[in-house]
Amino acid sequence: MVHFRNGDTQEVALRNDIPAGGESRVIDLEGNRRIITKVAFWYDTKGLQDKAVLELWGRH
């Protein structure tokens, strides 16, 4: 879930699970010139002992 400064939110569904070391497709967000304040992830490490490490990259 992407949260914007103006109060809007956008839920982004991924098409596939992302394997360890993998990456998602490029995701083009709706709208124009909004400021992202927070991105919330829901994920499952599928029974692994280690915690997931996420990187979020963006460009404008």
- φ and ψ at residue 53, rounded to 5 degrees: -120, 125
Structure tokens at 40: 């919330």
Composition of the chain by helix, strand, coil, percent to 5: 0, 15, 85
> Which pLDDT belongs to residue 45?
73
Tens digits of per-residue pLDDT, 1-58? 999 999 999 999 888 888 878 888 888 888 888 899 999 988 777 777 777 788 888 8
Range of the domain at 27: 1-60
Q: How many residues does the chain have?
A: 60
Longest dimension (CA), the chain: 40
pTM of the model as a whole: 0.74
Work out how many domains the chain is built from and give that number. Answer: 1
